[in-house]
Structure 1
Amino acid sequence: MRVLWLCLGCLSFAIGIIGAFLPLLPTVPLMLLATFCFAKSSERLHGWLINHPRFGPAIQDWQQHRAISKRAKIAATVSIVAAFSISLAIGLRPTLLAIQAVTLIAVSIFIWSRPNS
């Protein structure tokens, strides 16, 4: 089972790294998932990720306070607006746009309702 958690953690971490460069992939939630998976599979990788200079502070804020930094909230909001704008630009069907809008509004409410770190 540890190997499965390790593979899931590595996959989540890799996709999270890609998300650092692509605005539509959420980096921090994937790093949180990687942290969870590494906690179940590799104490060394878990510690490394928790103490990582780039990802560690956001992970620690979430684990200790369930907080999201204002900078991350703004970046997430910009990504949400960009994703919805792309959907509008490519002409998705109104039903799909409605589903996407409801989902993105719910995500935005969740993000902005968390305390600032």
Structure 2
Amino acid sequence: MIRALLTFLGSLSLALGVLGIFLPLLPTTPFLLLAAFCFLRGSPRMHAWLMSHHILGPYIRDFQTGRGIPLRSKCVTLTLMWVSLALSAWIMPVPWTRWFLLIPGIGVTIYLWRLPTRPSGDPDRTASDPDQISRE
């Protein structure tokens, strides 16, 4: 019963994490980390799939090991977030509520810039070998 619940929560977290890639105010990394945690205890097969996923796996492993994220990813993320926040502020019907969009925007910007930045020339050694982390 617990394993089924953890697998369900992992699937829900994974879905929210993937949505967070496209929606500016929905965080991606915390949901992906939660999904990895839930899958680790609920479904080893889903955990192995997530960790070996060619797009999501390296980001989770790099975050867990403290390697950071590439500078290009930080720049793209911040650019898309601020463009979507500006668009949201422009569309917002109540003018005074537009200022509230600055709170998550500034918070996410500070959070991302405080994360370690992986040099662009650093090869992603974890993408080709998911078990590399356990051997380091």
State the TM bucket, normalised to the shorter chain: 0.7 to 0.9
Q: What is the deviation of 1:63? A: 0.3
The answer to whether 1:33 aligns with 2:34 is yes
Contact 2:67 2:117 in 1 (8 A): no
1:100 and 1:86, CA in 2 relative to 1: closer, same or farther beyond 3 A? Answer: same
For the structure 1 residues 29 and 115, does the alpha-carbon distance in structure 2 shift closer, same or farther, using more than 3 Å as the test? Answer: same
Number of aligned residue pairs: 116
TM-superposed deviation, 1:97: 2.2
C-alpha change, 1:29 and 1:71, in structure 2 (3 Å) is farther
Indicate the structure (1 or 2) with the bigger Cα radius of gyration: 2
Match of 2:53 in 1: 52
CA–CA separation in structure 1 for the residues paired with 2:93 and 2:72 = 30
CA distance in 2, matches of 1:7, 1:99: 33
Corresponding residue of 2:70: 69
- Uncovered stretches (5+) of structure 1, i.e. residues with no partner: none
8 Å CA contact 1:58, 1:69 repeated in 2: no
Partner of 2:83: 82
- Cα distance 1:41–1:47, how it changes in 2: closer, same or farther (>3 A)? same
Does residue 2 (structure 1) correspond to residue 3 (structure 2)? The answer is: yes
1:65–1:101 distance in 2 versus 1, CA, 3 Å = same
Q: What is the match of residue 133 of structure 2?
A: none
Structure 2: 5+ residue stretches without partners: 119-136
**Shift, 1:30, TM fit:** 3.0
Mapped partners of 1:65, 1:59: distance in 2 = 10
Q: Deviations over 1:45-97 (max 9, x none)?
A: 11221121221111110000161222221122022212211222113434432
CA 1:18 to 1:87, structure 2 compared with 1: closer, same or farther past 3 Å?
A: closer
* Whole-angstrom CA distance in 1 between matches of 2:30 and 2:83: 18
Structure-2-length-normalised TM-score: 0.71
Q: Which amino acid aligns with 1:4?
A: L
Query: Percentage identity across aligned positions?
Result: 36
